[in-house]
Amino acid sequence: MLEEPTTTMVEGASRAEPVDAPAVIADDLSLGYAGGLRRGVKAVSGVSLQIAPGETLAMIGESGSGKSSLARAIAGLTSRTIERGPVITGGSLQVLGIDVRRLRRKDDADLALRVGYVPQDAGAVLDPHLTVGENVSLPLFERDDDLDRKVAGGIVAEAIDAMHLTLATIPKYPHELSRGQRQRVAIARALVLDPELLVADEATSGVDATVRATILGHLAEVQRKRGFAAFVVSSEIGEVRRLSTRLAVLHRGALVGMGPIDTVLQEGTHPYVRRLAELAPEHAGGASS
């Protein structure tokens, strides 16, 4: 468990929160779905975890284990804010001091400006009718529609450069880029507001292994420089190691392991954790990827 936060308080627009409070606190959190094909499905059951400011927690699990549902909830994208989003059916979830289960309209907007979210195949969600620069600048103008265009251009250029894309990428359209480039553009858009928390759900899914390593390297570099907290969903132990030293393992909606990566793999008793260790023996002993 993390240490208790200090009692030093800072005043916000609608709340006061400890300076060193965890960025994310999930306590016995359960998620389900209320409608559509997944009606009545329990996605996550009784998950408790914390993410400290500046810390990256990586989560791994099989397809259908509930990882994406948890990522959406941590990003504030529940049934209260998006159609067919996950429903918090039990426990509690606080993100950056905001009670996600009881989001108010104002807090919903506040959280959207403070959390960067990268969904699976993020490049596919870029607007094909907008240039790269226009796609990345969208969050800036959602926050301030009077923002000076030249100022916005400078911020966009910095975000693009941070993901090691050339400035020649800015006037291009998504279809003119490779899949790996589109993924980096999507990550740049998620980071353009300098968020306090990044939620990345399989951000390199479907990308060539060589390109994947490049994207992960750039993302880790930006996180170290800016110091934001991050929740990163992956299905690869090697990928996890590039981004974090702390691992959470989700299996059929339940948390079956959490702690330092080597400790989880070496000492985990759940069959799924043991299978992970067997499939990646070079990682279980602490070797670098």
The CATH number that applies at residue 49 is 3.40.50.300
H-helix or E-strand containing 25? strand 24-32
Is 251 within a domain? yes
Identity of residue 123: G
β-partners of residue 255 are: 250
Is 2 within a domain? no
Is 92 within a domain? yes
CB count within 10 Å of CB 194 equals 12
Is 270 within a domain? yes
Task: Give the 3-state secondary structure of residue 274.
Answer: helix
* Statement: residue 258 has pLDDT above 50: yes
Rounded to an integer, the average pLDDT of 236-265 is 92
CB count within 10 Å of CB 245 equals 14
Do 213 and 204 contact (CB within 8 A), yes or no?
no
Rounded to an integer, the average pLDDT of 56-73 is 94
Domain coverage including residue 22: 9-284
Assigned token pair, 22: 């965890």
| Predicted local confidence at residue 19, as pLDDT | 56
Residue linked to tokens 């790269």: 132
CA distance 156 to 162: 10
Is 114 within a domain? yes
Is 81 within a domain? yes
Is 214 within a domain? yes
Percent of the chain exceeding pLDDT 70 equals 87
97: left (phi over 0), alpha (psi -120 to 50) or beta: left
The domain tally of the chain equals 1
Is 3 within a domain? no
* Statement: residue 287 has pLDDT above 90: no
What phi and psi, each to the nearest 5 degrees, are found at residue 64? 85, 5
* Higher local confidence (pLDDT), 170 or 204: 170
| Predicted local confidence at residue 83, as pLDDT | 83
Indicate the pTM of the whole model: 0.85
What phi and psi, each to the nearest 5 degrees, are found at residue 195? -70, 160
* Statement: residue 12 has pLDDT above 80: no
84-128 confidence digits (pLDDT tens): 889 999 999 999 999 999 887 667 778 888 999 998 888 778 999
Percent of the chain exceeding pLDDT 90 equals 58
